[in-house]
């Protein structure tokens, strides 16, 4: 579950986002859902005051820990990559119920994972959806795919938990092959897909005996999120429109 919103400019809004996240954790607990929370660091004040953001996320992790739940720190655009990794590593010294997202389209990510693996990071690995300059990001589909596979192999080889977050059939098949070849335990990975996207493929992955986590973004700040998804993949337009039509019934 992900409360939409990022790049908040004042602490009041960031504190409101934290309360929204509290509500999600309470709802998960109340309804006994097998679900966890994903957060955008800038929505909790990362670009305003790093110490303030750390305190905010700490409060979320404390509540999640009390409920035996987990919080995933999303990765945003490149100006925030270093601060996000710094935040995660600082939190991980104290909390085991926290994970991080890394993006395969960034050229730096393989090296970041080498360092993060030494700390036993818990990952979501995705392609990435932000528009970044060619100097720091792969632009060709094959380059991104190759980097995704190489990073996934590095994570598995170092014994890290991997959330394989993709709707790309090629990458899913590559993951299947790697999991079989390396005899990876089902306890070491899961697949992750967006709610309402390629549901038949999602159900097949699940039917094949793999764990599936469905990413459910919601909230008032849906517009910027949808625009980024459309920039990444214009075919996503149908899935977004279908979701809105479904909600309107």
**pLDDT for residue 191:** 98
Our measurement of the distance from residue 112's CA atom to the centroid of its chain's CA atoms, rounded to an integer in Å, reads 16
Q: Is residue 232 part of a domain?
A: no
Contacts of 176 (CB under 8 A, 6+ apart): 208
Cα angle for residues 225, 228, 230 (degrees, 5° grid): 110
Contact between residue 4 and residue 217 where contact means Cβ atoms under 8 Å apart: yes
Q: Is residue 121 part of a domain?
A: yes
In the annotation, is 229 catalytic?
no
Domain count along the chain: 1
Taking CA atoms, 209 is separated from 33, 64, 186, 205, in Å, by 20, 28, 9, 7
Q: Tell me 106's DSSP state.
A: B
Q: Is residue 237 part of a domain?
A: no
Q: Which residue has the higher pLDDT, 232 or 124?
A: 124
Catalytic residue, candidates 2, 72, 74, 145: 74
CATH of the domain at 71: 3.20.20.220
Q: Is residue 246 part of a domain?
A: no
Strand partners, 214: 193
pLDDT value at 126 more than 70:
yes
**pLDDT for residue 103:** 98
Helices (H), 67-198: 81-92, 109-117, 141-157, 169-182
In the annotation, is 74 catalytic?
yes
Domain that holds residue 55: 2-220
Tell me the three state secondary structure of residue 189: strand
* Structure confidence by residue, pLDDT tens digits, 154-177: 999 999 999 999 999 999 999 999
Helices (H), 31-128: 50-66, 81-92, 109-117
Q: Is residue 42 part of a domain?
A: yes
Q: Is residue 25 part of a domain?
A: yes
Contact between residue 183 and residue 156 where contact means Cβ atoms under 8 Å apart: no
Mean pLDDT score of the chain: 90
* Structure confidence by residue, pLDDT tens digits, 240-249: 555 544 444 4
Q: Is residue 140 part of a domain?
A: yes
Catalytic residue, candidates 2, 72, 112, 124: 124
Q: Return d(Cα 98, Cα 116) in angstroms, integer.
A: 13
Which residue in the block uniquely carries the two structure tokens 């270093």? 82
């Amino acid at each position: 579950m992900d409360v939409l919103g990022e790049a908040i400019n004042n602490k009041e809004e960031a504190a409101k986002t934290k309360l929204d996240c509290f509500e999600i954790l309470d709802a998960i607990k109340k309804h006994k859902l097998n679900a966890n929370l994903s957060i955008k660091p800038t929505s909790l004040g990362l670009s305003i005051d790093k110490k303030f953001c750390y305190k905010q996320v700490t409060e979320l992790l404390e509540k999640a820990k009390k409920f035996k739940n987990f919080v995933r720190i999303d990765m945003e655009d490149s100006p925030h990559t270093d601060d996000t990794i710094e935040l995660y590593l600082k939190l991980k010294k104290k909390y085991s119920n926290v994970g991080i997202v890394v993006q395969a389209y960034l050229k730096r990510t393989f090296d970041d994972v080498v360092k993060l693996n030494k700390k036993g990071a818990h990952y979501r690995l995705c392609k990435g959806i932000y528009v970044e300059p060619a100097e720091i990001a792969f632009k060709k589909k094959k380059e991104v795919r190759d980097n995704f596979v190489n990073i996934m192999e590095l994570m598995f080889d170092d014994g890290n938990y991997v959330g394989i977050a993709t709707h790309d059939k090629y990458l899913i098949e590559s993951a299947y092959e790697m999991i079989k070849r390396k005899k990876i335990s089902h306890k070491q990975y899961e697949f992750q897909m967006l709610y309402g996207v390629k549901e038949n493929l999602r159900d097949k992955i699940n039917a094949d005996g793999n764990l599936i986590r469905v990413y459910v973004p919601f909230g008032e700040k849906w517009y910027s999120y949808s625009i980024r998804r459309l920039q990444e993949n214009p075919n996503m337009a149908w899935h977004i429109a279908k979701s809105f039509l479904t909600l309107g019934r």
